[in-house]
Structure 1
Amino acid sequence: MSDFDNKINEHFAGFVVRKDLVKVVKGNAIVPTYVLEYLLGQYCATDDEASIQTGIETVKDILRKHYVHRSEAGLIQSTIRERGRYKVIDQISVSLNEKTDSYEAVFENLGIKKVAVDSNTVKTHPKLLVTGVWCIADVQYEFSEEARVSPWILETIKPIQIAKVDYEQYRDLRRSFTTDEWIDLLMQSIGFRPEAFGRRSKLLQLLRLIPFVERNYNLIELGPKGTGKSHVYSEFSPHGQLISGGEITIPKLFVNNSNGRIGLVGYWDVVAFDEFAGREKTANKALVDIMKNYMANKTFSRGVNPMGAEASFSFVGNTDHNAPYMLKNSDLFEALPSQFHDSAFIDRLHAYLPGWEIDVIRGEMFTAGYGFIVDYLAEILRHLRSEDFSNRVQHYFKISEKISERDRTAISKTMSGLLKLIFPDGSQTEAEVEELLRLAMESRKRVKDQLARIDSTYPEVDFHYIGVDGVKRGVTTVEEEEYPQFYHTKGADGGDAQEDTLLDVPVAPLSIERKVGAPPPVLVTAHPAAQSSIALAEGHFVYAENRKGVSYDKLFGPYVDGASLVVVTDPYIRFFYQIRNMMEFVEMLVRRKRPEDQLRVHLVTAPDDGNLSRQRELLDSIKAACTGSGVEFSWAFDTSGAAHARDVVTDTGWKIVLDRGLDIFQPPIKTEGFSLGDRLQDHRVIKGFYVTYVKVAGETNKKIIDRVAGVKQPIAYDSSGPRADSRGAETS
């Protein structure tokens, strides 16, 4: 096990399980993950390998003997008859037979109906009356010659869920983990390998859990197929119910007028609507109207007294087009059925999760590490539903007064949910609150901006917040920064999108900080062959994580045009993918320069002590690859430890500072097939980073260039390997 897994087991012994065991024990049993993890939690919640293997065999034996496969239903029925009693694992629902004034159960897989159930069982487990619940049940068989009496009797029943958890212990143990560790623990708990996700991607995955931890929360996620949109609602918790969007009725969802029985919203914490999108689909207008009233007021009525409920709604569906197409031609809600493509319905959504930012789920994204038994975590989240953490924001930030009360409520509920998930102990810092606040505001802003497109009566809103320093800080969505030419509409009617214009250099986000008095950045289309006449501007640009459309050509191209020397200082050009980034930077320079020009590129980096020979070999291969291209590449190790900065300096007077250096792209998930992201930088997902463009004074720039201009010389080898020059720089 890793050190992290050891730490998890040390603090949460008995409440965590190795996540890859689910696949080991599942076999061909079609059961939710929480059912399997419930069993694994009984026998495999340990880090002792021998105990785990014994527990796996025990769980497999239980499933083999007691889980009912549909194809073997007849055999199990015979077993119950011959033995008189038998324990089964099945999905069970109960209904009232008014003719006999008795409750009768239906076993989904076992295929038996009219199973006698006593009233106390129904009172103890009322969810059985609404929908199927996975249970471990003892079934008896007593034949009666009276035709109206069923031979099947439900003797005992135990829903598969943990009865009680210690929330105070959970909260106290949270303090033993850093924020990053806790987020990674939650990621492993829902089955994912944290290393396969960036920070923003992790938070988007956790956003899917907010309906479980926040009452009456309305979330929508629209995106491509295969991103796991419905997985968390069908597999994660026994308190959530996933239904097909086209199969729901008013009596089933809200209340049955014939008997006054409340529907799904009265018994489940989360009701998720799968396959919700589809322009060709139709919905009952009365259902839509009741849903809108419930989403806004937490109550519903069908001609009788209003009734209240706490269930959160989650709507998930597939989109037919990508985000820029939707922004240019319609809106981000275009995939919804016409009855739901309604401003009143959309305005009641608290957050829009951008499904196009979620990677398609692949096998290498699943974890083999330890995470919470999902049933344990589900009970913790259910306990937290009764608390409100939104007031924690007020200690650090004030949301704009121009934002409407409905927008403010949406932001507060999203913030409360994220804080409950990540900081149940209240250990959040100002910076961490700001990160979550920006995500919460962005998730609501995505809804509000699309409303302005759909309905011209909705005004555009300035989403911003103010810190204790009194500084106003604006919030934008990722797609707003990535596609500004499509995102913002013309005129007050919210009609046509702006014309399709290329804004290539630099790719300026809207949340831009500039020096006081500096001119705005010039956004122009750059072409090869040095547009030296372009009036480039200084500026500071912040790029949001998970966006695309960013490349070295757009970031650096115009600023290196016309240069004869470019110096890259980046201490982290060590691993293969980082050296590949350096090669792609050189390729960009080769494409842009005039054929007759000569350009020298010099890299100052730090040695990789773990694999120095491989690093040298790869850097020298860049030098060899440039032969005959008109670009001369050289490199030097700064063994003095002084090269902490990450910047690009040209002899034309520009200095470009990046907090991440050239390492701005998220590493792709390795696959055997092809990926556009591997071939085209514009199609890669980026990390969050900033870049600052500074025009350096002539004398200062000369000193910077002179500092490295003389280091180009052959490596001198002796019996001990390459020698360092007098400045402590090993050179090539």
Structure 2
Amino acid sequence: MNELDQKINKYFPGLVVRKDLVKTVKGNAIVPSYVLEYLLGQYCATSDEPTIQTGIETVKEILRKHYVHRNEAGLVRSHIKEKGRYKVIDKISVALNDKADVYEAEFSNLGIKKVLVDSGTVKTHPKLLVSGVWCIADVEYEFTEDKSACPWILSTIKPIQLSHFDFDGYVEARKQFTTNEWIDLLVQSIGFNPEMFSKRSKLTQLIRLIPFCERNYNLIELGPKGTGKSHIYSEFSPHGILISGGEVTVPKLFVNNSTGKIGLVGYWDCVAFDEFAGKQKRVDKALVDIMKNYMANKSFSRGVETLGAEASMAFVGNTQHTVPYMLKHSDLFCELPEKFYDSAFLDRIHFYIPGWEIDIIRGEMFSSSYGFVVDYLAEILRSLRNHDYSDRYKEHFTLSSDISTRDRDGINKTFSGLMKILFPQGGASKEDVEELLRFAIEGRKRVKDQLMRIDSTYSNVRFSYLDSDGQTKSITTLEEEEYSNHYHKTIAEGEDYEISDSQEATLPLPPSEMTTAEPVLKEKHLTFQENQKGLSYDTLLGSYLRGTAAITVTDPYIRLFYQMRNFMEFLETVVKHKAPDEEVSVHLVTTEDEFKGEQQKENFEKIQETARAVGVNFTWEFDGTGTIHARHIVTDHGWKISLDRGLDIFQHYEMNNAFSFANRLQQFRPCKAFEVTFIKYRHGAEEGD
């Protein structure tokens, strides 16, 4: 176990589980993760390896004996008949038979119906009445001559969810973790390896938890297939339900006027709509209208009576086009069905998760470290719905008066949710608060900016805030930074939009400049955001390397394979910008790897050999002092390029996939946050001197 895993087990004994165990025990049992982790939490919530292995076998045996596979339902029914009583794990739903004035249960996999349930059980577990609950139940069989009577008897029933938890103990234990450790613990609890994600990407994953801890929170996530958009809503919590967007009706979601039966919003903390996108989908306009009212006012009408509910709503769907394509031709909501492509409906959404920033899920992204038993975290998040943290930024910051009440509500709810998830104990620093506030504002701004493209009656809003010093700070979305030439096109049609130096650095040179004219080089300082795409060594550095005969690269971190690959791609940029009949000398100053120094030297020798064949004379040296920290590139024609991250500006990507564009082309990789400064250090020198 690493240091964090040891800390997790120390402060949350019996409440955490190794996340790779779920796959180990699942087999062919089609059950949600929270069901499996509930069982693992009973037998494997420990760091003792022998106990874990024994627990795994116990859980596998329980699933083997008691989980009902549909194709074996007949065999299980026979077991119950022959033994008289048998324990099963199945999804059970209950309905009221008003003609007989009794409650009747239906077992999803076992295939038995009309099993009598007493009123006390239904009152204790009301979710049995809506869409069903996974349970461990004792079922008995007693034959009777009465043909109208059901021979199946429900003896005991226990929904698979935590029975109790200590919230105060949770808050106290949180104090023992740093902010970054806590974020990593939560990411591991979701099932992912935090080392594969940037800070921004981790926060994006955690945004998906807000509907479980914030009442009446409306969230949308649109992005490419395979990014895990619906995973949390189907697998994470027994208090959330995932339904297909095409299967929703007013009676199912809100209320059945003929029976008076309340729908899903009355029983679940979070109702998520899967496959929400799709222009051709048929949608009932009455459903959209009642959803608009509910999302704005937390209430819906049942005939003459108005009812309230607390369920949050999450809408997830796939996009068919790239972000620049959508911004150029329409907007970021363009994939939605026509009836939902409605400015009044979309204005009720508090946060838009940019799904295109999230990597397609790969095997190495899953965690084999410790995280909370998801059912425990689900109960914690549910209890946090009773708290309000929305005002915790007001000591340091004030939202711009330009921001409307509805925008303000969206920002406050997102900020409150993030604070509950990350700082339930309080004590967040001003820097932490500002980071979460900026993130919350950006998510609401993404909604509002698209609304202005859809509906001209929406006026432009400056999304900004004031800090305690009276300084105004503006917020931009990441896609606004990346594609500013398309982003603002409908706000002022035909008006030229000024592109900043950092945005210009991500744009390829026009053909005319590449072939006839040298670009104008100037001193400048550029800042790039986390997850920004469209950047390459070529667009960032290429024009400053052209015409040089000697380059010195100082970077202490050219040791690991991916760092070596970065350096090789830098040399490719040098080759691309040098004349075929010229040679360039490249000297690297770095530090020797403590454990794999020989391998490092061997790799440098291979690079040296291949570089010589294309006109690059590569040499290197190891700094013996071990004190170099600055990372920069110096050319012999007068430019010093200071990179605060050196060449390590890209996040993890799939290096072994030959068919991945992120592997082949740098501009398709998300960046880390970094800054670069271009300095003319020999004034008056002409290029080429």
Deviates more, 1:348-357 or 1:427-436: 427-436
1:588 matched to 2:588:
no
Seen in structure 2, the aligned counterparts of structure 1 residues 523 and 472 have a Cα distance that, compared at 3 Å, is farther
CA contact (8 A) 2:357 2:531 kept: yes
> C-alpha displacement at 1:373, in angstroms?
0.4
Deviates more, 1:143-152 or 1:274-283: 143-152
Tell me the equivalent position of 1:691: 676
> C-alpha displacement at 1:84, in angstroms?
2.4
Seen in structure 2, the aligned counterparts of structure 1 residues 286 and 490 have a Cα distance that, compared at 3 Å, is closer
Task: Kindly provide the CA deviation profile for residues 53-105 of structure 1, in whole angstroms up to 9, marking residues without a partner as x.
Answer: 22112111211221111112122222222222222111111111111111111
3-state SS of 2:371 partner:
strand
Tell me the equivalent position of 2:388: 388
3-state SS of 2:157 partner:
strand
> C-alpha displacement at 1:259, in angstroms?
2.6
CA contact (8 A) 1:505 1:554 kept: no
Question: Letter of the aligned partner of 2:118 in structure 1?
Answer: D
Q: Distance in 2 between matches of 1:253 and 1:405?
A: 27
Task: Kindly provide the CA deviation profile for residues 520-554 of structure 1, in whole angstroms up to 9, marking residues without a partner as x.
Answer: xx996487879885333333222111121100111
Tell me the equivalent position of 1:298: 298
Q: Distance in 1 between matches of 2:509 and 2:210?
A: 41
Question: Letter of the aligned partner of 2:387 in structure 1?
Answer: E
Identity across matched positions, percent: 62
Q: Distance in 1 between matches of 2:495 and 2:562?
A: 38
Tell me the equivalent position of 1:566: 551
CA contact (8 A) 2:142 2:153 kept: yes
> C-alpha displacement at 1:284, in angstroms?
0.6
Q: What does 1:252-651 align with in structure 2 at a 5 Å threshold? A: 252-492=252-492, 507-508=503-504, 525=510, 533-627=518-612, 629-651=614-636
TM-score by length of 2: 0.95
> C-alpha displacement at 1:669, in angstroms?
3.2
Q: Distance in 2 between matches of 1:8 and 1:634?
A: 46
3-state SS of 1:112 partner:
coil
Task: Kindly provide the CA deviation profile for residues 419-461 of structure 1, in whole angstroms up to 9, marking residues without a partner as x.
Answer: 1111211132222222222221111111111111111111222
3-state SS of 1:94 partner:
strand
> C-alpha displacement at 1:508, in angstroms?
4.4
3-state SS of 2:276 partner:
coil
Seen in structure 2, the aligned counterparts of structure 1 residues 648 and 68 have a Cα distance that, compared at 3 Å, is same
Tell me the equivalent position of 2:208: 208
Question: Letter of the aligned partner of 1:106 in structure 2?
Answer: E
> C-alpha displacement at 1:506, in angstroms?
5.3
CA contact (8 A) 1:250 1:256 kept: yes
Task: Kindly provide the CA deviation profile for residues 311-338 of structure 1, in whole angstroms up to 9, marking residues without a partner as x.
Answer: 0000011111121111111111111000
Tell me the equivalent position of 1:728: none
TM-score by length of 1: 0.89
Q: Whose RCO is larger (CA < 8 A, sep 6+)?
A: 2
> C-alpha displacement at 1:189, in angstroms?
0.8
Task: Kindly provide the CA deviation profile for residues 456-501 of structure 1, in whole angstroms up to 9, marking residues without a partner as x.
Answer: 1112222222222332222221211222222221454xx78989x9
CA contact (8 A) 1:532 1:558 kept: no
Tell me the equivalent position of 1:712: none
3-state SS of 2:386 partner:
coil
> C-alpha displacement at 1:407, in angstroms?
0.9
Question: Letter of the aligned partner of 2:191 in structure 1?
Answer: G
Task: Kindly provide the CA deviation profile for residues 116-175 of structure 1, in whole angstroms up to 9, marking residues without a partner as x.
Answer: 111111111111112210111122222232222222222221111001111111111111
Q: Distance in 1 between matches of 2:505 and 2:683?
A: 29
Count, aligned residues? 686
CA contact (8 A) 2:14 2:41 kept: yes
Q: Distance in 1 between matches of 2:411 and 2:175?
A: 26
3-state SS of 1:22 partner:
helix
Question: Letter of the aligned partner of 2:323 in structure 1?
Answer: A
Tell me the equivalent position of 1:158: 158
Question: Letter of the aligned partner of 1:230 in structure 2?
Answer: S
Tell me the equivalent position of 2:15: 15
Task: Kindly provide the CA deviation profile for residues 620-659 of structure 1, in whole angstroms up to 9, marking residues without a partner as x.
Answer: 3333333254433332322234421112223333322221
> C-alpha displacement at 1:388, in angstroms?
1.3
Seen in structure 2, the aligned counterparts of structure 1 residues 186 and 527 have a Cα distance that, compared at 3 Å, is farther
Seen in structure 2, the aligned counterparts of structure 1 residues 263 and 427 have a Cα distance that, compared at 3 Å, is same
Q: What does 1:648-727 align with in structure 2 at a 5 Å threshold? A: 648-671=633-656, 673-696=658-681, 698=683
Question: Letter of the aligned partner of 2:659 in structure 1?
Answer: F
> C-alpha displacement at 1:610, in angstroms?
2.1
CA contact (8 A) 1:504 1:554 kept: no
Deviates more, 1:14-23 or 1:137-146: 137-146
Question: Letter of the aligned partner of 1:406 in structure 2?
Answer: R
Q: Distance in 2 between matches of 1:586 and 1:659?
A: 19
Tell me the equivalent position of 2:230: 230
Q: Distance in 2 between matches of 1:381 and 1:323?
A: 33
3-state SS of 1:412 partner:
helix
Seen in structure 2, the aligned counterparts of structure 1 residues 672 and 557 have a Cα distance that, compared at 3 Å, is closer
Question: Letter of the aligned partner of 1:579 in structure 2?
Answer: M
Deviates more, 1:129-138 or 1:333-342: 129-138
Seen in structure 2, the aligned counterparts of structure 1 residues 258 and 578 have a Cα distance that, compared at 3 Å, is same
Which segments of 5 or more consecutive residues in structure 1 lack a partner in the other structure?
Answer: 511-521, 703-732
What is the CA RMSD across the aligned residues, in angstroms?
2.4
CA contact (8 A) 1:34 1:237 kept: yes
Task: Kindly provide the CA deviation profile for residues 223-255 of structure 1, in whole angstroms up to 9, marking residues without a partner as x.
Answer: 111111111101000000111111111111111
> C-alpha displacement at 1:35, in angstroms?
0.6
Seen in structure 2, the aligned counterparts of structure 1 residues 427 and 31 have a Cα distance that, compared at 3 Å, is same
Tell me the equivalent position of 1:106: 106
3-state SS of 2:271 partner:
strand
3-state SS of 2:302 partner:
coil
Task: Kindly provide the CA deviation profile for residues 1-41 of structure 1, in whole angstroms up to 9, marking residues without a partner as x.
Answer: 23322221111110011111111211111111111111111
Q: Distance in 2 between matches of 1:467 and 1:598?
A: 53
Seen in structure 2, the aligned counterparts of structure 1 residues 527 and 553 have a Cα distance that, compared at 3 Å, is farther
Deviates more, 1:316-325 or 1:613-622: 613-622
Task: Kindly provide the CA deviation profile for residues 242-272 of structure 1, in whole angstroms up to 9, marking residues without a partner as x.
Answer: 1111111111111111232221111100000
Question: Letter of the aligned partner of 1:209 in structure 2?
Answer: L
Seen in structure 2, the aligned counterparts of structure 1 residues 388 and 469 have a Cα distance that, compared at 3 Å, is same
CA contact (8 A) 1:35 1:160 kept: yes
Q: Distance in 2 between matches of 1:567 and 1:509?
A: 22
Task: Kindly provide the CA deviation profile for residues 652-685 of structure 1, in whole angstroms up to 9, marking residues without a partner as x.
Answer: 3332222111100113235455322122111122
3-state SS of 1:154 partner:
strand
Question: Letter of the aligned partner of 1:195 in structure 2?
Answer: E
Seen in structure 2, the aligned counterparts of structure 1 residues 440 and 367 have a Cα distance that, compared at 3 Å, is same
Q: Distance in 1 between matches of 2:486 and 2:167?
A: 47
Seen in structure 2, the aligned counterparts of structure 1 residues 672 and 4 have a Cα distance that, compared at 3 Å, is same
Question: Letter of the aligned partner of 1:592 in structure 2?
Answer: H
3-state SS of 1:391 partner:
coil
Q: Distance in 2 between matches of 1:191 and 1:48?
A: 20
> C-alpha displacement at 1:208, in angstroms?
0.9
Deviates more, 1:531-540 or 1:587-596: 531-540
CA contact (8 A) 2:9 2:16 kept: yes
Question: Letter of the aligned partner of 1:49 in structure 2?
Answer: E
